[in-house]
Structure 1
């Protein structure tokens, strides 16, 4: 039946509306709400002296064109005219922009859609790909893509809240489950993960790729920038003669399973990739256990992680929520999730990017120290260095004597670093538009759920501020620590510390979907879990102020930005110095017994040590690092003690016949800097598999020791 034109009376005014007899009365009340502002829960609608109830059928009321409905209820406050002149978005500074941003208004349990499109908005390439979509839709998927494009354009042009009615209508038309209604007749709450998956799958066809290719070989935007490939090996655990079954399929998201033992996102992902499943065995003629191991064979530059927090409870016939706290990283290293072939292609660029970030941190500290020294020479105040009470690095201390020309120009350094990265990027990966050229990702957006079940609660979108701005790779890193909180049309700014609290543990907002984008800036220094546990109380700063990354149960301190709203360089120096105490004190206490000066900590050497340790190969490189490995709780003190115990090998020390050892490097007098790291390596990589996981410690030194001809001057017994 076609829509009818009817009239409503409210507040002494009569207005015309469209009534669709095919929709229930509750849908008509939603239309009345959008017209009058009277909330549905405070609204009474009368027709011919009869109260219109949500469970009434139109057959009983028999609406006709021209009929008059009386609406009783007080409207919510309507928007007021602006008290100040209109200001365009492009004319606002960052703070004004944040306060002015007004996003999609909730249309009754549509927060799942609003939060989803806000998170997808953090993919800048998507906006570029949506622009050329034809304005003549050919199917429902095409119409949804156009509605999404128009929604984003509206969000970029207005400072007032708006109703994304067109997008919502197309979403419900294409996917009827989103039009499901509750027993009260209102639209039911939906799952944001289902909305995300359906939207991404729907636009996969109509949104073209960005490489300009055409024909059957052309790939769409989603296939380029969001679709990965997962290689799965299925092997029988009960029939060793049964051949393995290998399959490869597309992957739009990675699941993070949450069990009673899951504390970190990385471990939950690995649990989902390595599972034991039951399957009918044709050879055995019965159900048998199979080991299913999956690894990523194509890594997209936009990686979606789904925290599997909802499960079906038969006793209450609802999808319940897993409340467990699961830490997620701000910087995610995906190397361990890749196939051996893809890991070999991405590892060189990943290591190089880590080295570059270490160099950038050193330059930033040097420039800051130089600025302070110039201020001191002019009689101005100087910021305190070494807040932890531990000596600063030699480079930072020596900067007082440097001149501006002694520090490499940042733009020149970036060009050099870009050329260095270009040399190590795999050509085949480079030719794959939208594929990740390394394995480091930055957290760009989150969709959280607040509540106890999937059928209720509230979804909120959180987007990193820098994700909504154009990236200038040649410019120094800006403030990445502030995030936008999109609670339907209410927008606020929160700091990174707030984002860290979205890891669960209750009914409050909990991370449900996480969008990671290919990183342009990597970690600056890495921490061992054992050192970290002691570093936090020593620094006197709450653990909540740190940002950690889980690399196979290994923790890393993230320092990816040049300027911070709350993390100053002094604070970073303090944390790094506190972290280094285990390695430094073990070295320096022994060096003091042998007439050698104390070492200082170098973040750049720590990055170098971590890159070497990540290979889980027990052998020396070209710079003579110290290596140690053990099982169980084999920590930094154990590693250094193992090296110094080698002193017994030098009892018959003769400068004409030197015996280089780990001990001689520890006490080498010319060495001034130290950087160490630890890696938990899988069984069989360093020791036989029966001994389990190995803790692999690597320490790098500068200048390196054990130089032939220099032993008498550097090793004092």
Structure 2
């Protein structure tokens, strides 16, 4: 029998009928005790038949139905003399489990699966790739408040700091408890009291809304709106009467609708932006069909694409999955989905980006021919790689600066500013393996800003991957396939005093226009990762 009910005695406290899943490692049971008592697993001493319970093996003393288990441990911080914080450490002096992860320490750390929590782990690892979000959390997360939303924000900030330290994998207990306290749906249990698998996109969206509520700048603008907010305009027209209807909105994802004709991500985005809606026609005095589409009126530093792979099947009452292969690329161009006004603002920066890429290509050609006056003069203004596509993201720099053009800048002299081009480079993916949203396995794939290395975060395990392997996550079988695609803006240097004063293209706007800055989508931040 995989599930049993046990009783736990902890000091003067007693807990009855605790569901325990023997198919899961003891660490999951210890996380349940943590939720009940507040005693972290690393300070728990759980005794079974006189033997102390390990984290990874039940051993010969597996608990039986109705057994009473003794637990010792304090929920309070352990007091005592602290070791010097800056004492030198040597590899041979580190514990074996820390030595194992020295090679991947620079990428972050893995997260223990606490019982069907891969949806949460993959979401967190992908969000962690957004450096400006981290910085905003570190600045505002601690003062988020003591309500459930504030506790979740504080737990997110603390978790990000732990990930930044890198090293051995660890259990994200505090974040999980805060997530379930704020959003009880993530505490749903299946047969035998086992926590159910959840949808990674729902986790992503709910955490984003919690951050939106609490993490704001001095003007009250949410950092989530600045970093991810897509300002949109919907325009619908009635074919019977030519009546028109429109509305502005703010979205955090672009939906990639999938049908039998969808052959690429961009086609899916176009499908997701088309809309049909029944509305009351004033001319006809009844409801009529209005058709149209949504266009983007402002671009943020980051764009999230959601592959709409899941749908509800009435016959078995489950979320089924569309397995069709939908190719994507390392560069996403949002230009075709923009409003005419926004396209006009993007045209100049796009031309500047193309010219700089052309200069870089020409410099490389001349460099191959060998040294010479012509080669040296051509190479001087294009010494760094061009900012297009994958090259730009790989060379963004260890400091996490916005994906931009090379150090050469525009051909004209004088002060410059960063401008949006409408192009984005891929920096993160959440994938799903399995046939339904309520089962299977989620994994995060994150591109490192320092050197462009792709790393797969599979719960506790970190693995370096190639770009070719990442592009194979397009579906078409039972292997991992992209579910959420995170892209970062590719920006370009343009002369100051021109493009930066135009609003709506997603670049930083000058102070003033107080009403606009208070708007949900105003003043997007410069991208970094």
TM-score, normalised via structure 1 length: 0.54
Matched, 1:226 2:224: no
CA 1:6/1:406 → structure 2, altered by over 3 Å: closer, same or farther?
closer
Map 1:216-615 onto structure 2 (within 5 A): 218-240=220-242, 242=243, 244-281=244-281, 283-370=283-370, 404=376, 407-408=379-380, 410=382, 414=406, 416-418=408-410, 437-466=420-449, 469=450, 479-480=451-452, 482-520=453-491
Residue 171 (structure 2) aligned to one of 141, 163, 167: 163
Q: Unaligned 5+ residue runs, structure 2?
A: 1-5, 32-40, 42-52, 72-89, 385-404, 494-529
SS at match of 1:133: helix
Q: Find the counterpart in structure 2 of residue 121 from structure 1.
A: 128
- Give CA deviations for 1:173-207 in whole Å, capped at 9, x if unaligned: 10011001112321000000000000111101221
- Give CA deviations for 1:273-306 in whole Å, capped at 9, x if unaligned: 1133344545434443210310111211110100
Residue 147 (structure 1) aligned to one of 138, 148, 155: 155
CA 1:158/1:515 → structure 2, altered by over 3 Å: closer, same or farther?
closer
Q: Greater share of strand residues, 1 or 2?
A: 2
- Give CA deviations for 1:585-618 in whole Å, capped at 9, x if unaligned: xxxxxxxxxxxxxxxxxxxxxxxxxxxxxxxxxx
1:226–1:252 CA contact under 8 A, matched in 2:
yes
Residue 109 (structure 1) aligned to one of 90, 104, 116: 116
2:141–2:153 CA contact under 8 A, matched in 1:
no
1:296–1:337 CA contact under 8 A, matched in 2:
yes
RMSD across aligned C-alpha pairs, in angstroms?
Answer: 3.5
- Give CA deviations for 1:9-56 in whole Å, capped at 9, x if unaligned: xxxxxx97976559655699733476632568998423xxxx24xxxx
Q: Find the counterpart in structure 1 of residue 84 from structure 2.
A: none
Distance (whole Å) between structure 2 residues aligned to residue 492 and residue 98 of structure 1: 12
- Give CA deviations for 1:494-516 in whole Å, capped at 9, x if unaligned: 01000110000012100000001
Distance (whole Å) between structure 2 residues aligned to residue 188 and residue 133 of structure 1: 32
Say which one has the larger Rg: 1
CA 1:415/1:24 → structure 2, altered by over 3 Å: closer, same or farther?
closer
Q: Unaligned 5+ residue runs, structure 1?
A: 8-14, 53-60, 62-66, 71-81, 371-398, 431-435, 470-478, 523-717
Q: Find the counterpart in structure 2 of residue 565 from structure 1.
A: none
1:333–1:440 CA contact under 8 A, matched in 2:
yes
1:5–1:17 CA contact under 8 A, matched in 2:
no
CA 1:422/1:511 → structure 2, altered by over 3 Å: closer, same or farther?
farther
1:483–1:495 CA contact under 8 A, matched in 2:
yes
Q: Find the counterpart in structure 1 of residue 196 from structure 2.
A: 188
CA 1:356/1:21 → structure 2, altered by over 3 Å: closer, same or farther?
farther
Distance (whole Å) between structure 2 residues aligned to residue 22 and residue 171 of structure 1: 24
2:323–2:475 CA contact under 8 A, matched in 1:
yes
- What is the CA-CA distance between 1:369 and the residue it aligns to? 3.7
Distance (whole Å) between structure 2 residues aligned to residue 262 and residue 290 of structure 1: 23
Distance (whole Å) between structure 2 residues aligned to residue 421 and residue 308 of structure 1: 46
- Give CA deviations for 1:536-586 in whole Å, capped at 9, x if unaligned: xxxxxxxxxxxxxxxxxxxxxxxxxxxxxxxxxxxxxxxxxxxxxxxxxxx
- What is the CA-CA distance between 1:110 and the residue it aligns to? 0.5
SS at match of 1:107: coil
Distance (whole Å) between structure 2 residues aligned to residue 421 and residue 323 of structure 1: 52
TM-score, normalised via structure 2 length: 0.72
CA 1:135/1:366 → structure 2, altered by over 3 Å: closer, same or farther?
same
2:255–2:272 CA contact under 8 A, matched in 1:
yes
Distance (whole Å) between structure 2 residues aligned to residue 18 and residue 39 of structure 1: 26
Distance (whole Å) between structure 1 residues aligned to residue 102 and residue 139 of structure 2: 32
CA 1:100/1:298 → structure 2, altered by over 3 Å: closer, same or farther?
closer
Distance (whole Å) between structure 1 residues aligned to residue 21 and residue 413 of structure 2: 59
1:449–1:460 CA contact under 8 A, matched in 2:
yes
